[in-house]
């Protein structure tokens, strides 16, 4: 096995997709990985996309909403797997949060999510 590219998460360019949320992203041939830093109470709106999503909470607490009513409190080292096309959104707790998301298949760089609320 060889390594074609190597780097650090902090060296990846950061974007602010929503107020109080900073995102870094990395794309491989078959998957996309995103790191999100949430300020306290910051929210990623309810949305859906055609990728399966694996979410890992690295620091802090979040509320993960799936569908229109289910809400789950997740702390550090918690994870979820969300099927394709399922509505979901994430809100950080009072201390903020850092999460990692893996999407399969890979998200195209020009692809957007369908924001629902």
Mean per-residue pLDDT, 76-101: 96
Q: For 90, what's the count of Cα atoms within 13 Å in the CB-facing half-sphere?
A: 29
- Residue 50 predicted with pLDDT over 50: yes
Tokens 């990395």, residue located: 26
Query: Can you name the residues that pair with 82 across neighbouring β-strands?
Result: 53
Return the pLDDT at 70.
85
Task: Say which CATH topology domain 15-108 has.
Answer: Jelly Rolls (2.60.120)
| C-alpha R_g of the chain | 14
pTM comes to 0.90
Tell me how far apart the alpha carbons of residues 11 and 40 are, in angstroms, rounded to a whole number.
23
Return the pLDDT at 113.
85
Q: Tell me which of 21-25, 41-45, 109-113 is least confident.
A: 109-113
Domain residue spans of the chain: 15-108
Backbone angles phi, psi at 22, to 5 degrees: -110, 135
Mean per-residue pLDDT, 19-45: 96
Q: Are 56 and 79 in contact (CB under 8 A)?
A: yes
- Residue 109 predicted with pLDDT over 50: yes
């Amino acid at each position: 096995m060889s390594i074609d590219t190597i780097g650090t998460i902090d060296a990846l360019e950061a974007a602010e997709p929503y107020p109080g949320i900073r995102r870094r992203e990395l794309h491989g041939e078959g998957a996309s990985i995103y790191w999100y830093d949430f300020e306290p109470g910051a929210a990623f709106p309810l949305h859906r996309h055609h990728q399966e999503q694996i979410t890992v909470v690295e620091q802090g607490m979040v509320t993960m909403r799936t569908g229109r009513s289910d809400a789950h409190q997740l702390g550090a080292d918690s994870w979820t797997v969300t099927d394709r096309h399922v509505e979901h959104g994430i809100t950080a707790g009072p201390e903020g949060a850092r999460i990692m998301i893996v999407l399969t298949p890979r998200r195209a760089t020009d692809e957007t999510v369908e924001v629902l609320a």
